[in-house]
Amino acid sequence: MSLSTVEATASQVPEEPAVKGIEGRTPLQLVVARLRTDRVAIASIVVIVLIVVLAIAAPLIAGITGHNAYNANVDNGTDANGQPFPPGTSGYLLGTDNLGRDILVRIAYGARISLVVGVLATAIATVIGVVVGLIAGYFGGWVDNILARIMDVVLSFPYVLFAIVLVSVFGSSLPLTILVIAFFSFAAIGRIVRGQALSQREKEYVEAANSLGAGNIRVMFVDILPNLIAPVIVLATLLIPTAIVFESTLSFLGLGVVPPTPSWGNMLSDAEGVGFQAWWFYIFPMLFLLMTTLAFNLLGDAVRDALDPRAERIFAARRKTKAT
C-alpha cells in the first residue's frame, strides 16, 4: 500500500470513529485512582479544603460576627478591666486578643496569608527551580558547575539573617516575604531536578529527539520535563508547608507580614509573655498552623506513594496483610 493511497483513505475516515478503541488511562488518572483509595490522603485533602474554605469565607465570617480583623476593639472586645475575653464569651467563639479583636476572624484572615504565601512562594520556587535545575542538568559542564554551586550556597545560607538584612533594607511586606521564601526554596527543587535531568539526558529518547533536529529548549521542556513531573509534584507539595512555616517564622520575628494584618505567625508573636492565663492567644493559631502543615505533609507523602507504586508502602502493606 503506498503512502498516498493510505493518506487518501485516512482522510475519508471520520474524525471520531464510531466504535471507540480502548483508551489507555493516563498517568494522571492512575495517580488519582490510587489517591482515592488512600484514607490518609483523603483526610488531608478534607482538612486542606476546610482551611481553604475558611480563608475564602474570611470576610463572610467577619460580616456575620460583625467583628473586624484589623482595628483595635478595646471597648467591645474586652471586659471592664480591659482583659481579653476567653473563648465562647459574648459571641467571640475563640476569644479576643489584648486589643479586643476576634481571634476567629483573625485566624480566618491569617489562613489567607498562609495559603497565599504557601502556594505563591512554592509556585515561584518550583518554576525557578525547574528551569535552573533543567539547565544545569541538561547542559552540564561549566553551566552546571556555576548553577549547582549557586544552589549549594543558597541551601547553606542562614536565611533568617538574610531576611533580617533584606527587611531592614526594603522594609517588610507581603511580596517581599513571598520572594524571600521562594528564593530560599528554589534550590531544594533545583537540586532534585538537576539530578534527574542529568540521568534523563543520557536516555536514548533524548538522542532520538536530537536526531530529529529538536532544539535544546524543546528537548528540555518537551522531552525531559514530563519525565520529571513526579518528583517535582511531590517536592512542591512538601514545600507548601515549609513555606507556610517559613512565613510564620518571619512574621513571628516581625520580618514578614506587617501588623495589623493578621498572620498566624504574628498572632503567635502577640502571645509572647501571656503565659497560661490567655492560652487562647497561642493555642488556636498554633493548632491551625499544625493542622495545615501536617495535612500538606501527609498529602505530599500520599502523592509520592501514588506516583511511585513500586516504592514500599509500609502502612498500606500492613493494612493489606491484616485484611487477608
Partner 1 sequence: MPDPARDSDVLLRADGIVKHFPIKEGIFFKHQVGSVKAVDGVSLEVRRGETLGLVGETGCGKSTLARCILRLFPLTSGRLTFDGADLSRLSRSQMRPYRRGMQMIFQDPYGSLNPRRRVGSIIGDPLAIHHIAQGAERRKQVQALMEVVGLNPEHYNRFPAEFSGGQRQRIGVARALALRPKLIVCDEPVSALDVSIQAQVINLLEDLQGEFGLTYVFIAHDLAVVQHVSDRVAVMYLGKMVEVAEVKDLYNTPRHPYTNALLSASVVADPDKARSRDRIILSGDVPSPINPPSGCRFRTRCPKAQALCATEEPMLKSGAGDSPSHVTACHFPVADGEKLASEKDTILHAVEGFLAEAPT
Residues that bind partner 1 (CB under 8 A): 1-3, 6-7, 10-11, 13, 15, 17, 21, 23-24, 26-27, 203-205, 207-216, 218, 222-223, 226-227, 229
CA–CA dist 69, 81 (Å, integer): 22
* Residue with smaller CB distance to partner 1, 224 or 302: 224
* Residue with smaller CB distance to partner 1, 45 or 214: 214
Nearest distance in Å: CB 207, partner 1? 6
* Residue with smaller CB distance to partner 1, 93 or 230: 230
- In the chain, % helix, strand, coil (3-state, to 5) comes to 70, 0, 25
Nearest distance in Å: CB 178, partner 1? 31
C-alpha cell at 277: 492565663
**∠ CA 85-87-89, rounded to 5°:** 60
* Residue with smaller CB distance to partner 1, 137 or 262: 137
Nearest distance in Å: CB 103, partner 1? 47
CA–CA dist 128, 252 (Å, integer): 27
Nearest distance in Å: CB 8, partner 1? 9
Query: Pseudo-torsion of CA 240, 244, 247, 249, nearest 10°?
Result: -120
Residues forming beta bridges with residue 191, ordered by sequence position: none
* Signed CA dihedral, 243, 244, 246, 247: sign only: positive
* Residue with smaller CB distance to partner 1, 16 or 312: 16
Nearest distance in Å: CB 124, partner 1? 25
